[in-house]
Each structure stands twice: as structure tokens, then as C-alpha cells.
């Protein structure tokens, strides 16, 4: 979920929750075996090229529980070193920026955990990374561009991947439900350099100081084309 519709008042949110409950039911009833057969038909073998971890397009949505797993794995890192708010969001009438997601932080154009030897947090990487290039949408298996597509994959590995995809779909829907249940709507307004950055997620409404996200305020203000 990247944006809650502007018109979503209490009844709009109720409708979205009902829709998500139906989606959750659908996701829980998905057959991992069927998805696995489809993966085998398409074919996939990771070539360890790192293309999905590098470049401008690399942007990994990460949930609060996943951030905690990475913090535990990479002892010493803070929440904001692991993840930050994306550039997509809306401004309220007091000039605060609101967003609904966390994304893994980057070093330049690349994921900050990418190294020449591969992912530095392999065992703790987010669900989105473990299932790339595949994803489920309304129960349908879809995929992004990837050099590994068409490669040979065994029955066991395709089933493992299918189970992860199903889990990711369920987690994404549950996270969206929790987010909506905690969501506090706001009056839309204009960007301001004096506002705050507010991230709504499945656990809470977090206030992040712009000073903790180098360059972020300037980028968002430029993006809003007001400055
Ligand atoms: S967390 Fe690991 S697998 Fe995911 S984008 Fe970063 S380097 Fe790649």
C-alpha cells in the first residue's frame, strides 16, 4: 500500500479493510504446490549478478518486523541506519510529510547491504529479496525483469520459493490491515521545510527528524516542485 486514498474517511477505510480481509482469505487459500509448478514452468536460477540489489531502480520495501531482524543480525545498527522513509508521500496542512512505508537505506545507488561477495545480510534479508523476481498479485504469479528467469529449478527449490511467495503475500496484506487500523488521517496541505517527517506503519505513527535522513528533506521538497 503506497497511499491511502485522499477520500478515505472512516467509511472509506472500512471498505478498504473489508477488501483486505477478502484478499487475506484468498491468499491463505493459495496452493503453494500450484505456484511451485508455475515457477518450474517459467524457470529460475539466481545468477548472483546483483542486478536486483544495485542501481537507481533498487528500492526494497521493508516491514517493521523485518527491520528488527536486520538490526539483530547487524548488531550496532540503528533503525534509521537500516531503513528510511521513501520519497513518495503527502504533505499535511501544517507542512509535515506523511508516508506509509519504510525502505532499506542505500549507499549511493545501491542497497547498503550489497557487497561484491553478495548480500551481507543474506539470512536476514527481507521477504521481497528472498522471493525476487517473483511476486503474487490477486493470486496470480508475476515476475520482474531478471537474468535468472528461464533457468533450471528443482521441485524442492520451487516449492520453497512458492511457500515464501505465499507467506509474503499474507504478510503484505496483514501489514496493510494493521496499518489501516492504526492510521490517523490528516488534512492535506502544502510542503514546508519546517514540517516533520511522519511514517505510518503497522505498529505505530513514527516521527522521524529530517536531520537523521541526510538530504531527504531537500529531495522531497524538490520533488514536490514547490521549491
Ligand atoms: S538486502 Fe541483500 S538481497 Fe536485498 S537488495 Fe539488499 S543486498 Fe540485495
Contact 198, 207 (CB under 8 A): yes
> Using one digit for the tens of pLDDT, what is the confidence trace for 150-179?
999 999 999 999 999 999 999 999 999 999
Alpha-carbon Rg of the chain, whole angstroms? 19
* Candidate from 63, 114, 120 with most ligand 1 atoms within 8 A of CB, to mutate: 114
Protein residue with least CA distance to atom 2, ligand 1: 119
Report how far Cα 187 is from the mean position of its chain's Cα atoms. 25
Contact 127, 171 (CB under 8 A): yes
Candidates 9, 28, 24; CA nearest to 163 is 28
pLDDT confidence bin for 2, thresholds 50/70/90: low
Protein residue with least CA distance to atom 4, ligand 1: 129
pLDDT value, residue 227: 39
Ligand 1 pocket, residue 113 CB under 6 Å: yes
**Cα separation, 187 vs 26, whole angstroms:** 34
Quickly list DSSP for 5-34: -TT--HHHHHHHHHHHHHHHHHHHT--HHH
pTM of the predicted structure, to 2 decimals: 0.90
> Using one digit for the tens of pLDDT, what is the confidence trace for 196-213?
999 999 999 999 888 887
Ligand 1 pocket, residue 27 CB under 6 Å: no
> Using one digit for the tens of pLDDT, what is the confidence trace for 106-130?
999 999 999 999 999 999 999 999 9
| Grid cell for residue 41 | 514452468
Amino acid at each position: 500500500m503506497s497511499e491511502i486514498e485522499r477520500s478515505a474517511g472512516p467509511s472509506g477505510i472500512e471498505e478498504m479493510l473489508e477488501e483486505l480481509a477478502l484478499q487475506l482469505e484468498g491468499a491463505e487459500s493459495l496452493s503453494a504446490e500450484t505456484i511451485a509448478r508455475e515457477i518450474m514452468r517459467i524457470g529460475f536460477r539466481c545468477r548472483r549478478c546483483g542486478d536486483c540489489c544495485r542501481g537507481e531502480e533498487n528500492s526494497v520495501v521493508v516491514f517493521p518486523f523485518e527491520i528488527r531482524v536486520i538490526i539483530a543480525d547487524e548488531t550496532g545498527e540503528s533503525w534509521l541506519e537500516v531503513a528510511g522513509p521513501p520519497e513518495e508521500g503527502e504533505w499535511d496542512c501544517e507542512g509535515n510529510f506523511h508516508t506509509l512505508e519504510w525502505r532499506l537505506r542505500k549507499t549511493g545507488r545501491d542497497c547498503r547491504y550489497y557487497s561484491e561477495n553478495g548480500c551481507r545480510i543474506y539470512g536476514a534479508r527481507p521477504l521481497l529479496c528472498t522471493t525476487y523476481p517473483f511476486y503474487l498479485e490477486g493470486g496470480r504469479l508475476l515476475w520482474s525483469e531478471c537474468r535468472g528467469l528461464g533457468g533450471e529449478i528443482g521441485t524442492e527449490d520451487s516449492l520453497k520459493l512458492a511457500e515464501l511467495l505465499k507467506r509474503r503475500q499474507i504478510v503484505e496484506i496483514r501489514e496493510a490491515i494493521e496499518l489501516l487500523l492504526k492510521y490517523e488521517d490528516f488534512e492535506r496541505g502544502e510542503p514546508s521545510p519546517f514540517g516533520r517527517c511522519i511514517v505510518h506503519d503497522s505498529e505505530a505513527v513514527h516521527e522521524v527528524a529530517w536531520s537523521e535522513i541526510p538530504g531527504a528533506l531537500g529531495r522531497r521538497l524538490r520533488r514536490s516542485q514547490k521549491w
